[in-house]
Structure 1
Amino acid sequence: MTDFDHRVGVKEANLVIRNLRLTNVVDANRNALMEDIDHQFGIDEISYNSTDACLYLAYDATNINLEGIEDIIKKHGADIHNDWWTHTKEQYYKFVDQNVKDNAKHVPWSCHKPPSGAVKKHKE
């Protein structure tokens, strides 16, 4: 896949996929919740499985993070499921999101590069 296979604001290298169990999602707030998240810059895909009460997300971690998505979830009266496994995944997802964001800003260096202004000598 290339960057052209995704929505605007989503780069393949920064794409992360998340699935979270939610609570208090009913028919009345589900559509508004899904639309609100879907309109955020950096979201590639979103779906909700009512049987498992799971939210499936694919997004660019440099443009949006899980904390912003959680704020939208809470704004609509839903919440992240309160169990050990969901909280463990949530903390791991936040760590990886921050790592992706930091790595996207990182400028690689090399000790093999000549210093700026150095002139290469030619052998004759």
Structure 2
Amino acid sequence: MIKKGMKLYSILFGTCPKCHQESMYVNRNPYALSETLKINDSCSHCNTRYRMEPSFFYGSMYVSYGVGIAFAVATFILSYVVFESSLLTAFFAIIITLVVLIPVIMRLSRNIWINLFMHYDKELVKK
């Protein structure tokens, strides 16, 4: 069970890493493509600034590589091992999966990146 106060909660749901009270993103839907990476300047509940420095989220590009590889490996295992498809079919399944999940991968990467530097503070929730 994933509850507020766990890093995984903030990573999966894109909430403020300090208080977990609101979404970091202008639009919660990652498939609103024009707003996929639009992030609020700060949390309206605890005033945490999400951009600690101008190019802060560039580091999430490295995380997105790992997240993409994880999705690709999971897709390969499902298609090739579980469903016993051909290598070509598994290859196309990986490509389709990655293209469809690009917005999710980008957001997950940002969420993981910011949660590496900020931690949940239960005192902020009481305010």
Indicate whether the TM-score tops 0.5.
Answer: no
Superposition TM-score, scaled by structure 2 size: 0.30
Find the structure with the greater CA-based Rg: 1
- Higher relative contact order (CA closer than 8 Å, sequence separation 6+): 2
Decide which structure has greater helix share.
2
Superposition TM-score, scaled by structure 1 size: 0.31
